[in-house]
Structure 1
Amino acid sequence: MNILADMLLTEPAPMAIWATLMLLTLPALVVLASPHNVRNPGRALIDTVGFLRRRAERRDAERLRRIEEAVQAVRYADEVGVAAEQAGYAAQRWQGHWEAAGEWVDAAWQAWQAADARWARSRATAAFGTPYTVKTPAEYAYRERFLHRAVQAAAGRGELPAVAVADALNGRNGWNARLHPAEQEMVVHRVIAAHLERVHERAVEAERAAWQDCLRAGRNRDSLAREAAIATARAEAVRHLIPVRGAAATVFRPAFA
């Protein structure tokens, strides 16, 4: 018995012959297994062939189903992997936006504080009064030019919006070209400080919004990274079920017929 078992396990030819004999004798065993089959062996053989065919079809269908599931798992792992990579890049960009917004807040704060300090010095100087000047047409023309140059210079430095220049040129929104230059300078400093305070407030709001966007991008990156890791593990567990490229076309041809 041991010699026969060793021969069947080590020699492929006897094993193949043995399997062929078993397959050939299967119909006879089915016929002899039932008195009804003995009386109608032809029908028994037809039923046996049909049973074997249906079993083979079910086996092939199950194999195709597993292959298709494996293909879908690998495809999903590839897609979610790409999505996770893109989410990582997006998180880096949002991180950069937030850092830039923080730098803008710092710069806006420093500009506002410097402008507020200039306004404080102007108020202190105005407490001593303004020098007396003769109010002639030439003096008023000089005051007007002084105001226009001061506002245009502040707008050029980014301390005032462009609309302030138009307002000063047309005497709108509190700009008065008839004031003494010392008073005009104080007004310019006051308007600059107020404008830069609003700029700082907008910078703080933008920084807060950028931080929220950065958090959302980070959560999305982490979620997709976890999903990609799970999908990759599942794909690797079933990747061996996918046939080679040449055989895959033959295997999947019935599914698309």
Structure 2
Amino acid sequence: MNIVAEMLTQPAPMAIWAALMLLTLPALVVLASPHNVRNPGRALIDTVGFLRRRAEKRDELRQRRLDEAVQAVRYAEEIQVAADQAGYASQRWQGHWESADAAVDAAWEAWQASDARWARGRATAAFGTPYTARTTHEYAYRERFLHRAVQEAAGRGELPAEAVADALSGRNGWDARLHPAEQELVVQRVSAEYLAKVYERAVADERAAWHDALDACRNRDSLIREAAVAQARAAAVEHLIPAPRVTTREAFRPAFA
């Protein structure tokens, strides 16, 4: 008994036994049924067909597994590329939000500084304006003063560009007939109101940028998790993909070729 077990556990005897069983399979099929004994030729044909169909199914299963392995590896590569791109996009959105946050701080400081100037201007105007003769030259001077004050404020970003055109045309409350002190107070008031709106827009832009950065971060994290799962699946079936065959000519090709 030990001798038979030892023979069966050795590679060479096992191969011999397998070959003998394969050679005797047709005879076993014939002897398995009285119908096969009466018609052994037909039985052998059926046996060959059965073995061929079994081999075809085995090849189809092997090919199906190979196709699935190739698709899994390709998907893992594609989802990894998508995860990398999502990471770059998340960094860009993060930088956009940081810029928007800095713009909020700058807009707040500009608004507070302008509002403080307007408060000082109102305190000074409480003492009244000095008397000046209302002559043609005086009105021309007041007009030049208003235009220059509006242009300088617009150049500092304290007024919108269209305010210059309105002041030159005397539209939207710009009155060149006012005393320069009163004109200066109007410029300060309009600047404070404009910079308050700039701050409100900056806050809205910052909130939108924050939501965009948060969505980009979530998308990046989701793709990273999905890429990790895909990589694990690809690693489990990658051994089913045969390695590319390298010819002797390619193996000895110079590195600089």
Q: State the TM-score, normalizing by the size of structure 2.
A: 0.92
Cα separation, 2, equivalents of 1:152 and 1:6:
105
Q: Does 1:208 align with 2:207?
A: yes
Q: Secondary structure at the match of 1:135?
A: coil
Q: Secondary structure at the match of 2:131?
A: coil
- The farther-off stretch of 86-95 and 47-56 is 86-95
1:191 is matched with which residue?
Answer: 190
Structure 1 position 16, deviation (Å) = 3.0
Q: Does 1:154 align with 2:144?
A: no
1:37 is matched with which residue?
Answer: 36
Structure 1 position 246, deviation (Å) = 3.6
User: For structure 1, which runs of at least 5 residues remain unmatched after alignment?
Assistant: 248-257
1:2 is matched with which residue?
Answer: 2
Residues 48-100 of structure 1, C-alpha deviations (whole Å, 9 max, x = no match): 00000000001110111111111111111111111111111111111111111
Question: CA 1:52–1:10 in 2, change beyond 3 Å: closer, same or farther?
Answer: same
Cα separation, 1, equivalents of 2:81 and 2:5:
53
Taking every aligned residue pair, what percent have the same amino acid on both sides? 77
Letter matched to residue 199 of structure 2: H
Structure 1 position 245, deviation (Å) = 2.3
1:56 is matched with which residue?
Answer: 55
Structure 1 position 4, deviation (Å) = 4.6
Letter matched to residue 127 of structure 1: A
Cα separation, 1, equivalents of 2:163 and 2:82:
48
Structure 1 position 174, deviation (Å) = 0.5
Structure 1 position 231, deviation (Å) = 1.0
Cα separation, 1, equivalents of 2:212 and 2:27:
75
Letter matched to residue 74 of structure 1: V
Cα separation, 2, equivalents of 1:81 and 1:227:
9
Letter matched to residue 166 of structure 2: D
User: What are the equivalent positions in structure 2 for 1:1-257 lying under 5 Å apart?
Assistant: 1-12=1-12, 14-246=13-245
Cα separation, 2, equivalents of 1:63 and 1:16:
23
How many residues align? The count is 246
Letter matched to residue 2 of structure 2: N
Letter matched to residue 104 of structure 1: A
**Once superposed, what is the RMSD of the aligned Cα atoms?**
1.4
Q: Secondary structure at the match of 2:175?
A: coil
Q: Secondary structure at the match of 1:245?
A: coil
Q: Which stretches of structure 1, 4 residues or longer, exceed 6 Å deviation after superposition? A: none
